[in-house]
Structure 1
Amino acid sequence: MPWTKAARLQYQRSGLRYTSDLTDAEWALIARKMPPRRRLGRPREVDLREIVQAIFYILSSGCQWRALPKEFPPYSTVQGYFYAWRDTGRWQEIVEALVRKARRKLAGC
């Protein structure tokens, strides 16, 4: 299926820092799957959108954890969130939501 002008504009990623970064629409789809803030304990200091974007950067570039650019949170923080989400099944939920959205677009629904 060839690209149309409308599709090119919709999927254009030129305004983003990295091509693996999330658009606002993509983040809105994933934000519902993020863990809520805890009532007790130390408040969260890291932006979860930056964590997800760092994970997508690693997945798309194939770089090592330690080679994560300095614009992202520390690699140990990103790695900790990724492992916790993987172990609790949250990462699977995120991936399934993205796959469902992509399949709906392909089916034309």
Structure 2
Amino acid sequence: MSKMYSSNLTLEQWELIELFISPATSRDRHPKVEVWNVLNAIFYLLTQGCTWRDLFGNSPP
């Protein structure tokens, strides 16, 4: 995400949450989007009350 929103995770918050997200194994595909960006988009959606398709242009698909 290029723009900062008040709902975005801080680096410290991300480091705490990242511990609970399982790392990709060698047989898994590489993710097409970063989980941090997906979480930021979800938190933005929850705080702004908009629909997924009304998210900002640089949000993950």
TM over 0.5: yes
Larger Rg: 1
Q: TM-score range by the shorter chain?
A: 0.7 to 0.9
Unaligned 5+ segments in structure 2 are: none
What TM-score do you get using the length of structure 2 for normalisation?
Answer: 0.83
Shift of 1:41: 4.2
What TM-score do you get using the length of structure 1 for normalisation?
Answer: 0.49
Q: Which runs of 4+ in 1 moved over 6 A?
A: none
Paired residue for 2:40, among 20, 40, 53?
A: 53
Give the aligned partner of residue 25 of structure 2.
Answer: 38
More helix by share: 1
The answer to whether structure 1 residue 26 and structure 2 residue 8 are counterparts is no
Unaligned 5+ segments in structure 1 are: 1-15, 75-109
1:29-108 equivalences in 2 (<5 Å):
29-74=16-61
Structure with bigger RCO (C-alpha 8 Å, 6+ apart): 2
The alignment yields a C-alpha RMSD, in angstroms, of: 1.5
